[in-house]
């Protein structure tokens, strides 16, 4: 038995897709990187990588990554090349 349904009785359902970049709300995220370390940190965070993950891929300690990002230290040339590959950075943007 078929019933007549009044369109007013059908609930409306809306679906809204929202994309939020959580890095925009992270105070440690460099929005406008100016230094070598800030550029590395921004790219690492954009890729969702931790310092530990990057350090393991490079074969260096987390302290080394911290020194580059926070303390302004620079990597050795061969390490810089491998870092550039891992983070997908162009040479121009990461030159020391």
Ordered domains of the chain (ranges, CATH) = 31-94 (1.10.260.40)
Cβ pair 57, 87 in contact under 8 A: no
User: Would the pTM of this model clear 0.75, i.e. be above it?
Assistant: no
Closest CA to 60 of 48, 69, 51: 51
Q: Work out the mean pLDDT of the chain and round it to a whole number.
A: 87
Confidence of residue 94 (pLDDT cuts 50, 70, 90): very low
Which pLDDT score is estimated for 1?
Answer: 59
Runs of H (alpha helix) within the chain: 36-46, 51-58, 62-69, 77-87, 91-94
Residue-wise pLDDT tens digits, 42-75 = 999 999 999 999 999 999 999 999 999 999 999 9
Confidence of residue 96 (pLDDT cuts 50, 70, 90): very low
Give the Cα separation of 96 and 94 in Å (integer).
6
Question: Does the pLDDT at position 34 exceed 60?
Answer: yes
């Amino acid at each position: 038995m078929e019933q007549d349904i009044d369109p007013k009785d059908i609930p409306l359902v809306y679906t809204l897709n929202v994309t939020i970049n959580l890095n925009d709300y992270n105070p440690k995220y460099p929005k406008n990187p100016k230094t070598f370390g800030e550029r590395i940190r921004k790219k690492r965070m954009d890729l969702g990588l931790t310092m530990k993950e990057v350090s393991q891929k490079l074969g260096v300690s987390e302290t080394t990554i911290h020194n580059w990002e926070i303390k302004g230290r620079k990597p050795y040339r061969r390490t810089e090349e491998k870092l550039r590959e891992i983070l997908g950075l162009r040479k121009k943007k990461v030159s020391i």
